[in-house]
Amino acid sequence: MQELQPLIQQLKEKGIKVTPQRQAILSSFLGTTNKHRSAEDIHLEIVKSFPTISLDTVYRNLGMLRDLGILRELNLGERRVHYELTSHSHHHHLICTRCGDAQEIQYCPLQFLEQDKVNKFKIQSHSFEIFGLCEKCTK
Amino acid sequence: MQELQPLIQQLKEKGIKVTPQRQAILSSFLGTTNKHRSAEDIHLEIVKSFPTISLDTVYRNLGMLRDLGILRELNLGERRVHYELTSHSHHHHLICTRCGDAQEIQYCPLQFLEQDKVNKFKIQSHSFEIFGLCEKCTK
DNA sequence: CTAAGTGCAAAACTTTTGCAGGCGA
DNA sequence: TCGCCTGCAAAAGTTTTGCACTTAG
């Protein structure tokens, strides 16, 4: 399990202020089994223990943490963007189109992609999501 | 190049009325080299020759054509959804994070995915997009 | 002390929806 | 003619932004 302190250290090193709001957002990623969540999910969770935090602040900080490389942005086929810790191992998802559940899959297509398919394109990141029906919803 | 008539025929067979708006939308997909475009792109193009068509109508019809299986919806990491003809060969994209250009890539990761990775999940569709810098923007 | 961060409210942007009138079959 | 379709306008859902106040360092 990832620790909070090293993340806070990263903020300090970049001269970014460590506010209670930021600590709450970071903590919320460490405490969940739900690996990826939307800004609203995160806000709803934090509000329980920090009633005055605004959704705007959550959005602003998620963006900042993404730019710092601490969070990764996921596009799971919904209108909302989801976030997860980049320290969480690289993986992709099986997303159920009926119940919305997303299972992780330990397979990355990039390893099979030959250089000549990509030519002079300089890869920074990629997405690979599989949509369909999960075991429960098939029944 | 795909023809307009067979597409119109499909609408008729389903009892869907063939309006000038629908013909304009379908035609716009046949005439372009830009394979995938957003609702707004399509609307802007059609308005030139059909000044009264509304964006709402474009949205409604893109949705319908997607449900009929004539169009495919693409999530290219933008807020806007893009569409392309499903008859256009299956492929994925190299998307430039600087200029937004998307090149097609003839490689599909699904062929390398072993059944046991997916287990009982029933695959319906998938997305695979590679983000980075295109040759021009690397310079 | 002061620049960065926050909360509030309003705006921006994409997409959806209700409704009354229009038009294809 | 009749019901599907369209345009208009308004709403909905997510994310961004301007501004004045607060606060971490």
CATH for B11? 1.10.10.10
Number of domains in chain A: 2
Side-chain-facing half-sphere of A33: CA atoms under 13 Å? 1
Rounded mean pLDDT of chain B?
93
Return the minimum-mean-pLDDT range out of A9-13, A116-120, B82-86. A116-120
Say yes or no: B43 and B75 in one domain.
Answer: yes
Whole-number distance in Å between A56 CA and C11 C1': 14
Tell me the pairing of strands B102-105 and B82-85: unpaired
Where among B85, B108, B129 does a domain terminate? B85
In a shared domain, residues A103 and A54: no
Q: Taking 80 as the threshold, does the pLDDT of residue A33 lie above it? A: no
- Which tens digit of pLDDT belongs to each residue from A56-111? 999 999 999 999 999 999 999 899 999 999 999 999 999 998 888 899 999 999 98
Residues B124, A97: C-beta atoms closer than 8 Å: yes
Distance from A108 to chain B by nearest Cα, in Å? Answer: 9
In this structure, the answer to whether residues A101 and A72 fall within a common structural domain is no
Rama region for A15: left / alpha / beta (φ>0; ψ in -120 to 50; rest): left
- Burial (CB count within 10 angstroms: exposed 0-12, middle 13-18, buried 19+), residue A111: exposed
Distance from C-alpha of B26 to C-alpha of A88, rounded to nearest angstrom = 44
The dihedral region occupied by B49, where left means phi > 0, alpha psi between -120 and 50, and beta the remainder, is alpha
- Identify the pLDDT of residue B17: 98
The total of other beta-carbon atoms located within 10 Å of residue B2's CB is 12
Which pLDDT does position A1 carry in this prediction? 61
Among the partner-chain residues A105, A114, A119, the one whose CB lies closest to the CB of B117 is: A105
- pLDDT for position A46: 97
**B70 lies in the same domain as B106:** no
**A106 contacts B121? CB cut-off 8 A:** no
> Rounded mean pLDDT of A44-65?
97
Q: Are B77 and B99 part of one and the same domain?
A: no
- For the entire predicted model, the pTM comes to 0.90
Query: At residue B102, does pLDDT exceed 80?
Result: yes
The yes-or-no verdict on residue A114 having pLDDT over 80 is yes
Name the protein residue, with chain letter, whose CA is nearest the C1' of C9.
A56
Mean pLDDT for chain A overall: 94
Chain A residues whose C-beta is within 8 A of a chain B C-beta are: 75, 77, 94, 96-97, 103, 105-107, 109-110, 112-114, 117-135, 138
* Cα distances (Å, whole numbers) of residue B111 to A14, A70, A110, A112: 43, 32, 13, 10
User: Do residue A109 and residue B128 have CB atoms under 8 angstroms apart?
Assistant: yes
Residue B1: pLDDT band by 50, 70, 90 thresholds?
Answer: low
HSE of B96, CA atoms in CB hemisphere, 13 A: 15
3-state DSSP call for residue A122?
strand
Question: pLDDT category, B67, cuts 50, 70, 90?
Answer: very high
> Strand C: which residues 75-114 of B lie within 7 A (CB)?
79-81
Last residue of a domain, one of B85, B112, B127: B85
Model pLDDT, residue A98: 87
Instruction: From B90, B52, B86, B45, select the one nearest B66 (Cα to Cα).
Output: B86
Considering the domain architecture, whether residues B65 and B122 belong to the same structural domain is answered as no
Q: Which residues constitute the domain of residue A62?
A: 4-85
Q: Which of B59, B104, B127 to mutate to test the interface with A (most CBs of A within 10 A)?
A: B127
pLDDT beyond 70 at B48: yes
